[in-house]
Amino acid sequence: MRRLRRAISVLILVMVLLGGLFLGYAALRNRPQDLPWTRLDLSQPIGVFTGRKLAGLTDDFAECRVLLRSAGVRYTVLPKVAGSEPQCGYADGIRFAPGGSRGIAYRPANLGTSCPVAAALSLWEWEILQPAAQKHFGQDIVQIEHLGSYSCRRMYGRSAGDWSEHATADAVDIAAFRLADGTRISVIGDWSEGGEKAAFLREVRTGACKLFSTVLSPDYNAAHRDHLHLDEAERGEMGWRACH
């Protein structure tokens, strides 16, 4: 018993020391986004706790809107939607205004998502998509093609089981990207073809995992062969944070 108590004491001490080193590192680097208790700032680079803070916005629509405005994102608030099922609908929907997220257009143009998804998409565009596009192609992304957000359905359209995050507009499915020169990069057409397009798609998928609760790609299953599923649920679509 004495040995057990001693081992527990050592473990606690190690955890305290590691925590202190972590906090000191974050403070010295002047990176408040690496600290769990600081307010989210969409103008800052992605930090250790950015994803958790984005997920936490599911409970604070007003704060989410303030953060978007502070980051220069232009948007319109969508009317509250009451679904045909009790598990469906949303009261925190927004739609990017034309050019609202620093110039990237969505196709179709009527994309409406929950505010936390919009906040995560904005950071994804600025911190992940555009740097990856410059790295692989030397130019910017100008358009994102999507398969929609809100859909009152269960996961995979089944008649029973857990409800999809799409049922509350807390998810979006991304199908393709278009570069400034008109080049199109699609999940279904380029994921398995190799080369720069495939490398780009995998890089932006992995980068999305820093921001979204759940990220599912063709590597996950055949149902995602043509899109990247991104959701900002409190615990993720599968009940945990997942990146595949």
Whether 207 and 30 have beta carbons less than 8 Å apart is answered as no
Question: Comparing C-alpha atoms, which of 101, 108, 54 is closest to residue 75?
Answer: 101
Whether 168 and 88 have beta carbons less than 8 Å apart is answered as yes
Q: Does the structure show a pLDDT above 60 at 240? A: no
Per-domain boundaries in the chain: 1-30, 42-243
- Distance, in Å, from the CA atom of 31 to the CA atom of 4, rounded to the nearest integer, reads 38
158-206 pLDDT, tens digit per residue, is 888 889 999 999 999 999 999 999 999 999 999 999 899 999 999 999 9
103-112 pLDDT, tens digit per residue, is 789 999 888 9
Q: Does the structure show a pLDDT above 80 at 14? A: no
pLDDT at 238: 42
Whether 64 and 57 have beta carbons less than 8 Å apart is answered as yes
